[in-house]
Amino acid sequence: GNTPAAEGDNPALTLKIGSSQPEAQPNFYCGMKLLKERIEAQNLGLTIDMFPNSQLGPDAERFASVQTGDIDIDLQGGSAMSTAFPQIGVLDAAYAFNDVDHFFTWIDRNGKDFFTEFNTATDTTIVDAWYFGMRTFTATKPIRKPADLAGLKVRFPNTPQFLANAKALGADAVAIAVEELYLALQQGVAQGQENPVVATHAQKFDEILKVASLTDHQVGAHYVVVSDKTLDKMSRPQKDALFKAIHDIRAENRKCVDDETGKVLDGWRGDSARTVVEIDQVDRAAFISKAEAFFNTHFTGENLELYKSIRASA
């Protein structure tokens, strides 16, 4: 909440920014925190109040609060926002994008129109996307081809798009609340999970799961989404500064994620108790064609059109 007090042209505003990521994650120290430093340094009357680590609630509920203006800015994955705008879930489809460059090229080319439609449906504005890392499997055994997933209970987040991804890849998905996941992995209720390398390491799932398979089956991205109720209170210079800072941070953040991912992976590679199935040891062509065949019948209407246009741009 804000009490707009006129201070020249720039009202004094405190913006609450939320995220699910803990402070040890690149999206905090190379994202949210950079944003705070840069915005506040400009003396535009803006203060950024940071709430990492799901302090303001789980993803879907935080996004609903962005819609009502109770949270000003949030870092959100696509699937949590897909209940308000289904097409954004399509961007989370497994192997919709071949790699992270494909993703950002698509965003830069089509993002403007796409995010305008999103804005009309949700009363929130996506300013840009920050990289979160490629989602890959960590499990009790290596996953090189779709058949390796058979009979392996893999935990996927409990949203329709993620569960569709499980089907598309041929995995036997188990739904387990994130609060119980560590224990469930430890006790063998699930034998694998999928997350970006940095997140897997931060949440200590790699303490239990010793085999990482770099399937890179989904571009993990966090959209920086701002409440329109907040934008309405801001002056033009404030908005420009905020948008510019978010765009500028994208590249730095990506480098940060890549560096941290490399660091974690090198640690795993150097550990004799672990196996890392490198990306060129994965039969990505088999995964991609399997996923494509699935989604071409799974999606319908506008979602299918969007999916096909993304694949066509690959």
Partner 1 sequence: MTAEPVDSPDAPPRPPEPEPPWREPRILRAWAAAELGIACLAVATIFLSVLWQVISRYVPALNWQGVSELANYSLIVLTFIMVGYLIGNNGHIVIQIIDYAVKGRALTVVKVISAACTAVICALMVWEAWELILAYPDRRTAALEIPLWILYTLPLAGFLSGAVRAIVRIFLAGRPDGFFDAAEAR
Partner 2 sequence: MILELWMVGVAIIVLLLLRVPVGLAFIGPCLWYALADGNSSGFALKTTFDGLNSFPLLAVPLFILVGVMANRLGVADRLYDFCLAVLGRIRGNLAYVNIGTAVGFSWMSGSALADVAGLGKIEVPHMVKAGYPYRFAAGLTASSSLISPVMPPSIPAVIYAATATVSTGALFAASIIPALLMAAGLCVYVFLWTARRPDVTSVPFDRTRLRSTAIATIGPAFVPVILLGGILSGTFTPTEAASVAVLLMVVLGLLYRTLTFRVMIQSLRETAVITGGIGLILGSAALLGLILTRAHVSRDVAELVTSVSTEPWIFMIMVNVVLLILGTVVDATAAILVLVPVLLPVAVGLGVDPVYFGVVMIMNLMIGLLTPPVGSVLFVTASVTGRPVEEVFHGIIPFLVPLVAVLVLVTALPGFVLWLPHLLGF
Site residues for partner 2 per CB under 8 A? 1-3, 16, 51, 55-58, 61, 64-65, 68-70, 176-177, 179-180, 182-184, 186-189
Cα 294 to Cα 290: distance, rounded to the nearest angstrom: 6
CB 23 to partner 2: min, Å:
11
Structural tokens at position 272: 């004799």
Q: Is 282 helix (H, G, I), strand (E, B) or coil?
A: coil
Look at residue 174 and give the partner it binds from partner 1, partner 2, none, a contact being a CB closer than 5 to 8 Å depending on partner kind.
Answer: partner 1
The answer to whether 160 contacts partner 1 (rule: CB under 8 A) is: yes
Partners of 222 in beta bridges: 130
**C-beta of residue 194 within 8 angstroms of C-beta of residue 154:** yes
Tell me, residue by residue from 18 to 57, as one string, x for binding to partner 1 by CB under 8 A and - for no binding. Answer: ----------------------------------------
Task: Sort 266 into a burial class: Cβ within 10 Å, 0-12 / 13-18 / 19+.
Answer: exposed
CB 177 to partner 2: min, Å:
4
Site residue total, partner 1 (CB under 8 A): 17
C-beta neighbour count of 290 within 10 angstroms: 18
- ∠ CA 183-213-293 to the nearest 5 degrees? 105
**C-beta of residue 122 within 8 angstroms of C-beta of residue 231:** no
Specify the residue, 26 or 170, whose C-beta has the smaller distance to partner 1: 170
Stretch that binds partner 1, among 21-29, 59-67, 205-213, 290-298 (CB under 8 A): 59-67
Look at residue 187 and give the partner it binds from partner 1, partner 2, none, a contact being a CB closer than 5 to 8 Å depending on partner kind.
Answer: partner 2
Cα 249 to Cα 181: distance, rounded to the nearest angstrom: 32
CB 179 to partner 2: min, Å:
5
Tell me, residue by residue from 97 to 116, as one string, x for binding to partner 1 by CB under 8 A and - for no binding. Answer: --------------------
Look at residue 159 and give the partner it binds from partner 1, partner 2, none, a contact being a CB closer than 5 to 8 Å depending on partner kind.
Answer: partner 1
- ∠ CA 243-202-179 to the nearest 5 degrees? 100
List the one residue from 163, 178, 279, 304 that touches partner 1 (CB under 8 A). 163
Q: Identify each DSSP E strand in the chain by its residue range.
A: 13-18, 46-51, 73-76, 124-139, 153-155, 172-174, 192-196, 211-227, 275-277
Measure Cα distances from 147 to 96, 139, 150, 171, 235 in Å. Answer: 20, 14, 5, 9, 55
Structural tokens at position 231: 């934008």
**C-beta of residue 75 within 8 angstroms of C-beta of residue 50:** no
The answer to whether 12 contacts partner 1 (rule: CB under 8 A) is: no
Q: Is 99 helix (H, G, I), strand (E, B) or coil?
A: coil
Look at residue 279 and give the partner it binds from partner 1, partner 2, none, a contact being a CB closer than 5 to 8 Å depending on partner kind.
Answer: none
Specify the residue, 182 or 243, whose C-beta has the smaller distance to partner 2: 182
Please list every residue from 167 through 206 that binds partner 1, using CB under 8 A: 172-175, 177, 189
Look at residue 290 and give the partner it binds from partner 1, partner 2, none, a contact being a CB closer than 5 to 8 Å depending on partner kind.
Answer: none
The amino acid at 200: T
List the one residue from 83, 110, 119, 203 that touches partner 1 (CB under 8 A). 83
Residues that bind partner 1 (CB under 8 A): 60, 64, 67-68, 83-84, 153, 158-160, 163, 172-175, 177, 189
